[in-house]
Amino acid sequence: LEADDTGNRLRFQLELEFVQCLANPNYLNFLAQRGYFKDKAFVNYLKYLLYWKEPEYAKYLKYPQCLHMLELLQYEHFRKELVNAQCAKFIDEQQILHWQHYSRKRMRLQQALAEQQQQNNTSVK
């Protein structure tokens, strides 16, 4: 029973690490260029990994964009396009733009909240 737990823990860690690697478009390009996306067993494995979208598993992800990539990898057209390095580069650039926009928006929201708290503190006194 203990060996079972160890095996399950190891499998969880390996699948967690692999799913998060899917957030990297350059890694997806690497897999595509080596023909992994043409392998039925590998494509079935990608389908199996969709369980990571469930909240009880997704909470362990550091790179949630990997779930979006996992979803896109369910489509043959997307898998075929990833062979092209320009496709991977475009996805990479879009992710960077998204992170920059998110970071700026988050900073503005935090700044506005801090200003509001400061106003509330001065109006209470």
- For 34-63, the pLDDT digits (tens) are 999 999 999 999 999 999 999 999 999 999
Ranges of H-type helices in the chain? 2-21, 25-33, 40-48, 55-58, 65-72, 76-81, 85-124
Domains and CATH numbers, the chain: 1-124 (1.10.10.1340)
Distance of alpha carbon 52 from alpha carbon 56, whole angstroms? 8
Query: Average pLDDT in the 97-122 region?
Result: 78
Q: Is pTM, for the whole model, over 0.75?
A: no
